[in-house]
Amino acid sequence: MHNGATVFKDQSDPQGRTSGRLSMALQQRGVVGVLFTAPVGIILLLLLAYPFVLGIWLSFTDTIIGRTGHFIGLENYFYLLFDDVFRLTTFNTLLYTVAAVFFKLVLGFALAMVLNRDFKAKGLVRAIVLLPWIVPTALSTIVFWWIFDSQFSCISWVLIKMGILSHEIDFLGNPNNARASVIAVNVWRGIPFFTIGLMAGLQTINQSLYEAADIDGASPWVKFRKITVPLIMPLLAVITTFSIIWTFADFHLIWIMTRGGPANATHIYGTLSYQRAIPGGHLGEGAAISIFIFPILLICVLITAKYLRREE
Amino acid sequence: MAQRFAQKLLRFYIPLILFLLFLLFPFYWMLVTTFKSDVELYNLSLNPFYIYTWSLANVKHLLFDTPFLRWLFNTFLVSVVSAFISLATSLLAAYGIQRIRFRGSGFMGIAIFFCYLVPPTILFIPLATMVFKLKIWDSLVSLSIIYPTFLIPFCTWLLMGYFKSIPKELEECAMMDGASRLWVFFKVIIPLSLPGIVSAGIFAFTLSWNEYLYALTFISSSLKKTISVGLVTELVRGDVYHWGPLMAGALLGSVPIALIYSFFVEYYVAGMTGALKE
């Protein structure tokens, strides 16, 4: 009896100690914190960080679909640097990004200024303005594809009826027209992001600043330049950074409308890497093309980080 | 008076109307094309902005002669599953980072934010090789587990902002009374941050619904496609464009998103601007 009790006690003691340790560990911030963040950490490590590194590795190999590749060093990169299509793609990507972000910024900011006042149905107008942003881009792109049809475009129809043109515009068949068309669609889709983001920023500007400027007799342009722009700058920088990343790394808008054509005039990094990697089968080369997105990404990240830290 | 009105017209009404025309025209065009007959659609002597005789032929063709309903179901399924995974894990992570404040929590917050900046265009090729090796090629499982990679960073970032606004005293009181972290999390934090959870959920659902590149790369059988991929790959055969059914598909594929959006527009705007400001 006595013996049994000791044995029982001996057995229970280490158990008691471990459960005590467990509950003590669960009181510690470090352990609890790790447990709460572990699921997200694991998912992002396995499906984001690992593929990211794998992509860099693939770009140094000659992997094609169905065959494991060998390490070939920088061969893919050298090949690309002397590839005319790739050079044209680099030009297209820069043009697409600069032009689209510029127009999105200017028009989005303009619309935010127009809407930055009290009027009836403000909520409704704001909801309507966001529509191009929330509707699936692939689906709205299909609509633009139809608007830019070579035979039945409604834009051509109007211009011909008005007597401005004598024949249909070849929107997507002519290189420069095609470039302008895909940029226009990107601008259409991206304006709401700038407008809604900037409207939120404009509302936080203290109205007394404008009143003080009014007393000093400042013109609307001076008020805009000296009050609105400086105060909205940090927010504008973050919005623009996001927009640059998304535009630079765009894919589906162009893939649906032109597939990079005509004559590669609208190929950007995203579409070219898809074309070479998936239908073309050259995974290594495709990965190398997509890696070229990375430097721009890095610069954007650094800019964002700078502004985020400043706000903290 | 008249001068003030003229000024308002010039500075407000005219720009507003021009912007709205530009932003809304594609939707009008989509609607008009959907309900036209082919005869009318391809007759250039008629006014294309007007429907002379309404027709449901395009909608019928889309619903009964293509797997559109199946694509709709696939898209819905993938969006719900990936939004759920993202929301559940992001809630835990956002709470851990924002409230438990352990060593390394600041670093994790920044790391997750940077994950949000990595575009799918960089990841789709290595992910394709992984999906192939894991034998989940051409299955909706691959999309459901890969979509969270772009949803989680956004949701976590958004929820961190909401958690920040909940007073710390509430938690501390509950914990003084002997409540555990998990109890506090489920009974105090989650009820108080419902608006944030709703925004994050809507965003996650919409973003998965809109995804295109992964769905195009990982799925090849017709019956497993999502709406956007299915429409473009199955309704365009060589040089033959079925514009009527295509527009009907674009319309019907946008309606669920537009409906959700119209109910939760305030949450949507709050989420968007909140995420920007954080």
ipTM over 0.95: no
- pLDDT given at position A4: 40
Angle at B23 between CA B21 and CA B24, to 5 degrees: 65
Pairs from B61-65 (Cβ < 8 Å, separation ≥ 24): B61/B242, B61/B244, B61/B245, B61/B248, B62/B245, B62/B248, B62/B249, B62/B252
- pLDDT given at position A28: 72
Q: Is residue A8 part of a domain?
A: no
Mutate to test the interface with A, among B27, B122, B181, B246 (most CBs of A within 10 A): B122
- Residues contacting residue B265 through CB under 8 Å, at least 6 positions apart: A123, A126, A127, A130
Average pLDDT over residues B159-188: 82
Per-residue pLDDT tens listing for chain A (312 residues): 344 443 344 444 444 455 566 666 666 777 888 888 899 999 999 999 999 999 999 999 998 888 888 899 899 999 999 999 999 999 999 999 999 999 999 999 999 999 988 888 888 888 889 899 989 999 999 999 999 988 888 888 888 888 888 888 888 889 999 999 999 999 999 999 999 999 988 988 888 888 898 888 888 888 888 889 888 888 888 888 889 989 999 999 999 999 987 999 999 999 999 999 999 999 999 999 999 998 888 887 787 677 766 554
> How far from the centroid of its chain's Cα atoms is residue B56's Cα?
28
| Residues in B touching A200 (Cβ below 8 Å) | 269, 273, 276-277
Label residue B241 by pLDDT band (50, 70, 90): confident
Number of domains chain A contains: 1
**Chain B: residue nearest A63 by CA?**
B129
Residues B257-272 have pLDDT tens digits of 888 888 888 777 777 7
CB contact under 8 A, A140 and B216: no
- pLDDT given at position A136: 92
Q: Is residue A2 part of a domain?
A: no
One-letter amino acid of B176: M
- pLDDT given at position A116: 87
Q: Residue A262, preceding bond cis, omega within 30 degrees?
A: yes
- pLDDT given at position A2: 43
CB contact under 8 A, A131 and B44: no
- pLDDT given at position B196: 87
- pLDDT given at position A185: 96
Facing residue for B42 by CB, picked from A26, A152, A270: A152
- pLDDT given at position A276: 94
Among B31, B68, B56, which residue's Cα sits nearest to residue B235?
A: B68
Q: Is residue A31 part of a domain?
A: no
Rounded (10°) angle between helices A29-44 and B148-164: 150
**H or E stretch covering A43:** helix A29-44
Residues B48-106 have pLDDT tens digits of 888 888 888 889 988 998 899 999 999 999 999 999 999 999 999 998 888 887 888 88
d(CA B136, CA B145): 10
Q: Are A266 and A182 within 8 A, CB to CB?
A: yes
Residues B119-148 have pLDDT tens digits of 999 999 999 999 998 989 899 999 999 999
Task: Calculate the average pLDDT of chain B.
Answer: 87
- pLDDT given at position B277: 59
Q: Is residue A196 part of a domain?
A: yes
CATH number at residue A246: 1.10.3720.10
**Chain A: residue nearest B226 by CA?**
A138
CB contact under 8 A, B49 and A154: yes
Mutate to test the interface with B, among A63, A113, A143 (most CBs of B within 10 A): A143
- In this structure, what are the phi and psi dihedrals at residue A69, rounded to the nearest 5 degrees? -95, 170
- pLDDT given at position A158: 86
Q: What is the DSSP string of chain B?
A: -HHHHHHHIIIIIHHHHHHHHHHHHHHHHHHHHHTS-HHHHT-TTS-TTS-SS---HHHHHHHHHSSHHHHHHHHHHHHHHHHHHHHHHHHHHHHIIIII--TTHHHHHHHHHHHHTS-HHHHHHHHHHHHHHTT-TTSHHHHHHHTHHHHHHHHHHHHHHHHHTS-HHHHHHHHHTT--HHHHIIIIIHHHTHHHHHHHHHHHHHHHHH--HHHHHH--SGGG--HHHHHHHHSEETTEE-HHHHHHHHHHHHHHHHHHHHHSHHHHHHHHHHHHH-
d(CA A191, CA A186): 9
Q: Assess B231–A contact: CB distance below 8 Å, yes or no.
A: yes
Mutate to test the interface with A, among B121, B133, B269 (most CBs of A within 10 A): B121
Neighbours of B156 (CB within 10 A): 31
> How far from the centroid of its chain's Cα atoms is residue B14's Cα?
32
Q: Is residue A17 part of a domain?
A: no
What is the residue range of A245's domain?
84-311
d(CA B164, CA A181): 43
CB contact under 8 A, B130 and A286: no
| Residues in A touching B96 (Cβ below 8 Å) | 32-37
Q: Is residue A273 part of a domain?
A: yes
d(CA B233, CA B222): 9
Strand partners of residue B241: B236
CB contact under 8 A, A196 and B273: yes
- pLDDT given at position A15: 45
Average pLDDT over residues B164-187: 81
Residues B204-217 have pLDDT tens digits of 999 999 999 999 99
CB contact under 8 A, A142 and B247: yes
**Chain B: residue nearest A294 by CA?**
B122
Domains of chain B are: 2-55 (no CATH), 67-277 (1.10.3720.10)
Q: Is residue A27 part of a domain?
A: no
Tokens 């650094």 sit at which residue?
Answer: A302
Strand partners of residue A71: A61
In SS3 terms, B117-140 reads as CCCHHHHHHHHHHHHHHCCCCCCH
Q: Assess B16–A contact: CB distance below 8 Å, yes or no.
A: yes
End-to-end CA, chain A: 67
Rounded (10°) angle between helices A84-115 and B14-34: 120
| Residues in A touching B179 (Cβ below 8 Å) | none
3-state secondary structure of A71: strand
Q: Is residue A22 part of a domain?
A: no
d(CA A247, CA A98): 9
- Residues contacting residue A284 through CB under 8 Å, at least 6 positions apart: A58, A59, A60, A61, A62, A63, A64, A69, A72, A76
> How far from the centroid of its chain's Cα atoms is residue B45's Cα?
39
Q: Assess B80–A contact: CB distance below 8 Å, yes or no.
A: no
pLDDT > 90 fraction of chain B, expressed in percent and rounded: 41
Among A175, A186, A152, which residue's Cα sits nearest to residue A256?
A: A186
